[in-house]
Structure 1
């Protein structure tokens, strides 16, 4: 449980940091890293960060991909809970 809290906070912060870096034309966090954090369990934090910071909202990879990742993670959690 603590892992999920930590990875979602990390995802949220990464979206905020990347948005700030985009505004100031600095080194950016790669899209693969942002998506990788989401895949590792931070999809809800990534979606919240995307929406709050209005970052990556025009990229289908994120607007469609993050909710799909969250849905797949939710299905996996339900399956794991019922099996174990």
Structure 2
């Protein structure tokens, strides 16, 4: 029995909402850095790192299908750590790649959390203290 189309659409909308919420703080912080300190490098870093990391995931998934040389997981995580986690998250969903390996997902979400904590420390905590 097929799932009703409404539920599939709702699930997709929730994924996009979650993605938007995860990106909100880094986007706001990057734009603030650009506006206040005239430093567009953070926004540029997230964009370039996300594109490169997305491409690494694509390449790894492609190579996994043909049993070729694979991209080392440490390299995927390095791309995420350098700011490419939004691209990695999109690639995971688009290619259905690295979504079931729990050890990989644990490191991935720790990197996302690290980025969120960085921006909380930079943007939110100074307001209280």
The TM-score range, normalised by the shorter chain, is: 0.7 to 0.9
Shift of 1:50: 1.1
Match of 1:18 among 37, 40, 60: 60
Aligned equivalent of 1:66: 108
Q: Which runs of 5+ in 1 are unaligned?
A: none
Q: Matched residues in 1 for 2:107 and 2:94: separation?
A: 17
Superposition CA RMSD, Å: 1.4
Shift of 1:63: 2.4
Return the index of the structure with the highest Cα Rg: 2
Q: Give yes or no for the alignment of 1:6 onto 2:51.
A: no
Q: What is the TM-score normalised by the length of structure 1?
A: 0.86
Q: Matched residues in 2 for 1:61 and 1:10: separation?
A: 22
Q: What is the TM-score normalised by the length of structure 2?
A: 0.59
Q: Give yes or no for the alignment of 1:49 onto 2:57.
A: no
After TM superposition, what 4+ stretches of structure 1 lie above 6 angstroms from structure 2?
A: none
Higher relative contact order (CA 8 A, sep 6+): 1
Q: Is the 8 A contact 1:7 1:41 kept in 2?
A: yes
